[in-house]
Amino acid sequence: MDGTLTIVSAADGKIDGSFKRTAVYDSSFSAYGLLTGGKFTGTYKPNGDVGFNMNPRLEDNNVYIGAKLSGDNMNGSWSHSTMTGSKDKGKFSATLK
């Protein structure tokens, strides 16, 4: 899947923004329906660690991303978390523009 993350605000270690899905390569993974677009929240640290909560309104059916910012690239992983635990996970990468 491809998409865009737009950071609207970043202060005191917290980020807020929006995201939009722009292309789908495999719609069979468990979190497909959760990642169409919307608001996200997250955190960042001076060492480049970033975390995204892709649906802050739902705690029991959500996608979380953890990555490391290095130059213009972010690399890490995502996980689809539900009430019964992690359903799916994979790699995450992004390029800053």
pLDDT cut 70: percent of the chain above it: 99
Cα–Cα distance between 80 and 91 in angstroms, integer? Answer: 12
- pLDDT band of residue 79 (cuts 50, 70, 90) is very high
Strand order through the sheet with 49-53: 2-11, 14-23, 37-44, 49-53, 61-70, 73-82, 85-95
Query: Tell me, what's the pLDDT at 82?
Result: 82
Instruction: Please compute the mean of the pLDDT values over residues 76-90 and round it to a whole number.
Output: 84
Q: Check residues 33 and 85 and name the one with the higher pLDDT.
A: 33
Structural domain spans, the chain: 2-95
pLDDT at 74: 94
| Structure token digits, residue 6 | 């737009």
pLDDT at 31: 78
Looking at the domain covering 2-95, what would its CATH class be?
mainly beta
